[in-house]
Amino acid sequence: ETGVTQTPRHLVMGMTNKKSLKCEQHLGHNAMYWYKQSAKKPLELMFVYSLEERVENNSVPSRFSPECPNSSHLFLHLHTLQPEDSALYLCASSQVHHGLGYEQYFGPGTRLTVT
Amino acid sequence: AQTVTQSQPEMSVQEAETVTLSCTYDTSESNYYLFWYKQPPSRQMILVIRQEAYKQQNATENRFSVNFQKAAKSFSLKISDSQLGDTAMYFCAFMINNAGNMLTFGGGTRLMVKP
């Protein structure tokens, strides 16, 4: 699968570090998403961008800061994270047309460990 | 709010046999989509099958088929002729039609196909 790519695939960071996760989609979609996948918990939707505007911020702490410079790229900026933020972070994209959404396509994820 | 429940945390099946994964959901909406996603150990989430709520006919995709019971709010996935490559986490997901882009996931079922 190369439709949605994520870098890095693995990241270890201290609580005082600043890092960024990158997502790129090559599917011509107009919506992109960040999810958090923790052990033994359902996938949690964090942010949604549709046509480069943030349309959903699902009560995510401010230490997570998304950025969508264009419809193909999505970033998640991380700073002063906590150990409980360790998880797999998944990016996805989809096509949205007149408010109707279609299936989402996922990237391989970034495995984040906060020490 | 919508909820999705997968009551089977883990299942196993012998190669070439059939297995059914269960999913129930709760919503007051009448127009929505349902999905099954597969997440193999490599972590790339892949769409397996989708069902539009307005369609009475159950969706099928090769060896994968669903049993959609709208009144019962049930959406089970049947995998026929199970293959070793079917070993993965399977997630049931729900999306309201006019919301455009919000997926709600169940907790997942870990399926092991045994040789």
For residue B78, the model assigns a pLDDT of 98
For residue B96, the model assigns a pLDDT of 82
Q: Which residues of A touch B35 (CB under 8 A)?
A: 103
Mark yes or no for CB contact A92/B42 under 8 Å. Answer: no
For residue B29, the model assigns a pLDDT of 86
Q: Which residues of A touch B91 (CB under 8 A)?
A: 42-43
Better-scored residue on pLDDT, A11 or B100: A11
Structure tokens at B2: 């919508």
* Chain Cα centroid distance, residue A99: 21
Structure tokens at B61: 């995709």
Better-scored residue on pLDDT, A106 or B29: A106
The per-residue DSSP string of A41-70 comes to: S--EEEEEEETTEEEEE-S--TTEEEEEEE
In this complex, the residue of A42, A100, A107 whose CB is nearest that of residue B100 is: A100
Residue A99 — very low, low, confident or very high, per pLDDT cuts 50/70/90?
Answer: low
Mark yes or no for CB contact A101/B100 under 8 Å. Answer: yes
In this complex, the residue of A42, A45, A109 whose CB is nearest that of residue B102 is: A45
Residue A97 Cα, gap to closest chain B Cα (Å): 8
Better-scored residue on pLDDT, A39 or B84: B84
Distance separating alpha carbons of residues B22 and B5, to the nearest angstrom: 9
Burial B60-85 (b: 16+ CB within 10 A, else e): eeeebbbebeeeebebbbebeebeee
Q: Which value, in Å, is the radius of gyration of the alpha carbons in chain B? A: 14
Average pLDDT, rounded, for chain B: 92
Extended beta strands in chain B, E state: 3-5, 10-14, 19-21, 24-26, 32-39, 46-52, 60-61, 64-69, 74-79, 88-96, 103-105, 109-114
Smallest CA-to-CA distance from A48 within A83, A99, A14 is with: A99
Better-scored residue on pLDDT, A56 or A22: A22
